[in-house]
Amino acid sequence: MLNLVLFGPPGAGKGTQSQKLIERYKLIHLSTGDLLRAEIAAGTKLGLDAKRYMDCGTLVPDEVVIGMIENKIKSNPEAKGFIFDGFPRTVPQATALDKMCYDNKISISAMISLKVDVAELTKRIVERGKTSGRTDDQDPDLVGERIAEYNNKTAPVSDYYAKKSKAHYIDGMQSIEIVSNEIFKIVDSL
Ligand code: AMP
């Protein structure tokens, strides 16, 4: 089984590269952002609670996203593997993912980190906001808050995987195609 953590700040290209990985390796895409937006669209209590955090650009509580991911792993026992996109975003989420993997007899194959500078991230998110319909992409203050949350709470997750020798780093400023090819090279060598 191939289980990849696609890591990086908002706007780094995780969603775009996830689509390329799905096509090539037939993995199941688990994006906590997408799952939360689906809960909001369905008007569930979980969605309404999460929306309060998302509207401020802050992370939703760990137990909410951990529960969602656990459900998805359990409901896809035939999966060839998973792409974790936007999860884990805190060290407690990373340790919870390891426990879930252990309980479900799977393991994380690699963490692939996309590095993009703040000016480029902001430009990409604002551009995406013109068509994504995502309110958190349209407000520059919210974009700044999301990047600050990443720096404060999410960046340490990269060291978590580095210590386990599972971290790979890619220059995410390059074209979509070059980034995809670099990811494929890493995955094919696993
Ligand atoms: P994204 O679509 O990945 O940019 O996520 C949009 C928003 O959903 C984030 O700004 C957070 O408020 C929330 N979110 C998504 N994934 C997580 C996560 N793993 N942990 C906490 N909050 C999350």
Look up 37 and say whether it is catalytic.
no
Q: What is the pLDDT of residues 93-152, one digit of tens each?
A: 999 999 999 999 999 999 999 999 999 999 999 999 999 888 899 988 999 999 999 999
Q: Which atom of ligand 1 is nearest to the CA of 32?
A: 16
Of the listed 89, 130, 153, 164, which one is catalytic? 89
Region 14-33: mean pLDDT is 96
Region 12-25: mean pLDDT is 96
Q: What is the pLDDT of residue 135?
A: 87
Run of H or E including 85: strand 81-85
**Closest protein CA for atom 1 of ligand 1:** 33
**Closest protein CA for atom 8 of ligand 1:** 33
146 lines ligand 1 (CB under 6 A): yes
Q: What is the pLDDT of residue 17?
A: 97
Cβ atoms of 93 and 65 within 8 Å: the answer is yes
Beta strands 110-115; 167-171: pairing state: parallel
Task: Indicate the burial class of 46 (C-beta count within 10 angstroms; 0-12, 13-18, 19 or more).
Answer: middle
Tell me the CA–centroid distance for residue 16 and ligand 1, in Å: 16
Q: What is the pLDDT of residue 160?
A: 98
Cα 58 to chain centroid distance, Å, stands at: 15
Query: pTM here?
Result: 0.96
What is the DSSP code string of 112-167? EEEE--HHHHHHHHHHHHHHH--HHHH-HHHHHHHHHHIIIIIHHHHHHHHHTT-E
Of the listed 20, 51, 72, 134, which one is catalytic? 134
Task: Indicate the burial class of 19 (C-beta count within 10 angstroms; 0-12, 13-18, 19 or more).
Answer: middle
What count of other Cβ atoms lies within 10 Å of the Cβ of residue 38? 13
9 lines ligand 1 (CB under 6 A): no
8 lines ligand 1 (CB under 6 A): no
What CA–CA distance (Å, rounded) separates 108 from 143?
29
- Is the pLDDT at 18 greater than 90, yes or no? yes
Q: Which atom of ligand 1 is nearest to the CA of 86?
A: 3
Q: Which residues contact 76 (CB under 8 A, 6 or more apart)?
A: 28, 82
Backbone φ/ψ region at 27: left (φ over 0), alpha (ψ -120 to 50), beta: beta
Which mutation among 7, 89, 128, 143 tests ligand 1's pocket best, with the greatest number of atoms within 8 A of CB?
Answer: 89
First to last CA, the chain: 11
Q: What is the mean pLDDT of the chain?
A: 96
Q: What is the pLDDT of residue 132?
A: 86
Look up 52 and say whether it is catalytic.
no
Of the listed 51, 72, 128, 166, which one is catalytic? 128
Tabulate helix, strand, coil % of the chain (nearest 5).
60, 15, 25
Q: What is the pLDDT of residue 29?
A: 96
Q: What is the pLDDT of residues 28-64, one digit of tens each?
A: 999 999 999 999 999 999 999 999 999 999 999 999 9
Rounded to the nearest 5°, which phi and psi values hold at 169?
-120, 135
Domains of the chain (ranges, CATH numbers): 2-171 (3.40.50.300)
